[in-house]
Amino acid sequence: MHTPVLLQEVALGLALREGDTVVDATVNGGGHAEMIAKAIGETGVLVGFDLDRDALSMARKRLEGAPCKVVLVESNFTEAGAKLKAQGITGVDKFLFDLGLSSNQLDPQSGGIGRGFSFRRDEPLIMTFKTEGGAEGRKNAAEIVNSMSERELADMLWTYGQERASRKIAKAIVAARAKQRILTTEELVSVIERVAPRRGRIHPATKTFQALRIFVNDELENLKLGLGEARKALRAGGRIAVISFHSLEDKIVKEIFKTWQEEGGGAVITKKPIIPTREEAQRNPRSRSAKLRIFEKQI
């Protein structure tokens, strides 16, 4: 089962109260949602968004005994405003965005179906959060790897993965696919390992897989849109908490929160991001890169 990161820090940072209406914008398997449901009690409302139908099924099962009203919606959080309106919800007290991959997505043995998010096992090279297809107008990872030009691949790997060996990897991908299409994670990892040997603890495929996943799902643009939707739906005094896992996400969140504060729309609660304790990082290594930032709306 997926272990939610920074659980107590999220609970304290959101200042959850009985009767709150809370949106978990990335509900996934329901780890944070379970904690939220208990905190807001019988008079509270919990709305969970996720593009992954399988994740929603797991969340639904986990939240069966929740004391509050639970509404789960198969949708991108970029559509939060319209979806909330359709449910008759006119205002939200708290929003949570957990931008990390869950154990279920990384490990199909945890309940997922294996879409190629992890380079540690051989799976179809798909990488879509959405159960069927990527972001609007986007191809899946295999289609991208086998169709982009060498220059486009290199640019994508640098922009979204900050991969220093982007040109070498792009060249190797184009050469490999000329002989045979690259359709699985193992095939892609094999290509990467030939030109980008391991340095220390970090696997040479880490940044390439990050870049592909971000591009396939249009994650950075969706994050900007989703935060805008959250701000519009939030009541005065409400809070938005965002857990990010790499510098590209964290930079966006930091800059957007700063802009909102400068515009007089509220205050950044976290002057510096909250990070996991040493104990949590040891207990759950996937939490190591997590950063939590919180904003409170005032008008």
295 CA to centre of own chain = 18
The annotated binding site is made up of: 30-32, 50, 77, 98, 105
CA dihedral 122, 124, 126, 130 (to 10 degrees): -100
> Could you give the CA distance from residue 88 to residue 83 in angstroms, rounded to a whole number?
9
End-to-end CA distance of the chain: 39
- What are the strands, taking DSSP E only, across 59-218? 69-74, 92-98
89 CA to centre of own chain = 24
Q: How far is CA 267 from CA 13, 19, 167, 224, 261, in A?
A: 13, 23, 42, 18, 5
**3-class secondary structure per residue, 184-227:** EHHHHHHHHHHHCCCECCECCCHHHHHHHHHHHHCHHHHHHHHH
Tokens encoding 210: 């990050």
The annotated binding site for S-adenosyl-L-methionine is made up of: 30-32, 50, 77, 98, 105
